[in-house]
Chains A and B, each alone.
Chain A
Amino acid sequence: MGKGIWVFAEQEEGTLRKVTFEILSNARKIADSKGEQLCAVCLGKDVAALGDKFAPYGADKAYLVQHEALGQYTTDAYAKALADLITKEQPSIVLFGATVMGKDLAPKVAARVGAGLASDCVDIRLDDNGSFVVKRPIYAGKAYAEVSFQNTEIMMASVRPNVLIASAPDESKTAEVENVTPEISADDIRVKVVEVQKTGAGKVDLTEAEIIVSGGRGMKGPENYKMLEDLAEVLGATVGASRAAVDAGWRPLSDQVGQTGKVVSPNLYVACGISGAIQHYAGMGTSKVIVAINKDEEAPILTKCDYAIVDDLFKIVPPLTEEVKKLKAD
């Protein structure tokens, strides 16, 4: 029997990504069924303060892997620290958030320790035989596949953020904390980080946003996005864009939602002037509630949403912002 269900606890500057709690909450059931420990594995330069953050979501144990070289994420340093610990402890399952970091790190670690890996999963569970299976979108969400594991002692998966539900934290729970000092030498780190440019300062990244207000070709020009930013402001949302808007140069590439942009899964996705091509839907189809505002009644998005207003967005968005403001004030 393996020695645990592990969740890679991704943190940046001491803040844990929400997906960590989503995975822990759902992996708890798997750990119970398998009779194994649920462990959070947190890497960083100084993550001592995070040790008690995992038990409320079901973790039995937290590995705090601390080293000077883990202050700034590099694939090399993180892969070395994590792969060494996996090799030593031999967990049966290792789960990551399917974030930029998780998707960069997991394949390298899986290749190094000889694990099987499934990416960007939307469900993790044990089947009737007690085997670990995951569900993941393929062909940009046109289909789902169930993935099972074979020929391997270690099963790995990355899980799409915002899809699994985090349980209500139980602050009375505590977890064992094990401090780990990884062996990382200068030779292990071949990649040098020259510079980090944060452009979306203070803005919630699209992949983590609870609400997204997105604009497409129907926005007609970059100047009109102010209207969406106003709506986003009252909703506490992040502004996204369709490929058409990005290709037209109205919005930066980092705002693009869709097959060639970011895959998002917010609670609420408001598509303004977006026709809803299959490539766009691939990037937001797992959103919980989809609203479309489009004056073209033939737009494909209108058949793939929950609420639709068939009207000119320029007439709808400003009063919508006012209405939301009123509701929020109540």
Chain B
Amino acid sequence: MNSIVCLKQVPDTEAQLRVKTDEIVTEGVKFVISPYDEFGIEEALLQKEKAGAGEVNLVCLGPQRCVEAIRTGLAMGADKATHLDDPAFDGSDALATAQALAEQIKKMEYDLIFCGRQAIDDDQAQVGGALAEYLGIPHASLVTKVEVAADKKSVKVNRQIVGGEEILEIPMPCVLTCQKGLNEPRYASLPGIMKAKKKPLTPVKAADIGIDAGTVGAAGSKTKGGNFTSPAARTAAKIITGESPEEKAANLAKALREEAKAI
């Protein structure tokens, strides 16, 4: 069972970001593997352990700092990694990123590709589905359970839908985007961290995967984010008071009906 896991390095969810009109300042911020991608790494490791054979390959697109996230993935147990690290990729939007990942992945062997359901910085939720399209293979999103068939030709997955769940059968290879509930990602062990230092991590440039630099990066992307703003602060909350809990409850109900017109 050979799996590829696409991972992105993102600011930690607790990080305080400085919002400037032309950029989001991430200087001094702690970076981590995007949490949904961790589910992907864990699932790839579980599937490999179950099959008793195969490799887990990480693919990451991003600047030099991403090496830390890649090493963490390797320390969790992944076998090797490819790092698409080239200034030509800077500013790529989600679809341009998916295109670059696809060009790299076309050169690799795989049965399953795992992506997070979305990266928690841009929150686009596009790479998984688009990657599958560029590779010409099917995908399932928001996956919470993965069961590879005995003949290893297809996979049965549970995915979240509105008001419930559906079970799909998909021929392999395919792309699965991981949702919370899929598994509990393991922590990197100390021996794992030691071993990770020696595992192969191959840097790749745009030219190596034959991608035209004009189709990736800020200039080659089809969307461009800017004019960043902070969310409008809510005006200070109105504290509902009263002599008793009953009175407070009554005053709240009244405010919601008469003032907020929300009920």
Which A residues contact B (CB, under 8 angstroms)?
A: 12, 75-76, 79, 99-101, 103-108, 110-112, 115-120, 136-152, 190-201, 203, 205, 207-208, 211, 235, 253-254, 256, 259-261, 267-268, 278-279, 285, 288-292, 302-312, 315-317, 319-320, 322-324, 326-328
Contacts and interface: CB of A to CB of B under 8 A. Distances in A.
Nearest to A302: B237
B16 to A, nearest CB: 8
Contacts of B165: 196-197, 199
B166 A195 contact: yes
16 contacts: A104-B141, A104-B142, A107-B98, A108-B133, A111-B130, A117-B223, A118-B124, A150-B222, A190-B171, A191-B170, A196-B167, A198-B163, A253-B181, A309-B239, A311-B245, A320-B252
Interface in B7-52: 11, 13-14, 17, 19, 24, 35
Contacts of B229: 143-144, 146
Contacts of A319: 245-246, 249-250
Interface in B231-261: 231, 234-240, 245-246, 248-250, 252-257, 260
A288 B262 contact: yes
Contact of A151 (B124, B220, B246, B256): B220
A141 B165 CA distance: 27
Nearest to A141: B231
Given A207-B162, A319-B250, A148 B224 contact: yes
B62 interface: no
Given A107-B128, A199-B163, A323 B234 contact: no
Given A76-B138, A316-B249, A197 B168 contact: no
Main SS of the interface on chain B?
mixed
Enumerate the 8 nearest inter-chain pairs by beta-carbon distance, A residue then B residue, closest first. Answer: A116-B222, A107-B129, A323-B253, A315-B245, A319-B249, A111-B133, A146-B227, A145-B225
Interface in B120-142: 120-130, 132-134, 138-142
B130 A107 contact: yes
B168 A194 contact: yes
A120 B124 CA distance: 7
Interface of A, secondary structure class, is: mixed
Which of B162, B180, B231 is packed against the most chain A CB atoms within 10 Å?
B162
B95 A138 contact: no
A110 B163 contact: no
A290 B234 contact: yes
B210 interface: no
Given A143-B17, A190-B170, A309 B138 contact: no
Given A75-B138, A199-B165, A307 B252 contact: yes
B221 A111 contact: no
Contact of A118 (B141, B164, B223, B256): B223
Contacts of B141: 75, 103-104
Given A119-B126, A199-B165, A319-B245, A308 B225 contact: no
A261 B133 CA distance: 26
A205 B165 CA distance: 13
B187 interface: no
Contacts of B134: 111
A263 to B, nearest CB: 9
Contacts of B252: 291, 307, 309, 316, 320, 323
B142 A115 contact: no
Nearest to B127: A107
Contacts of A195: 166-167
A149 B19 CA distance: 22
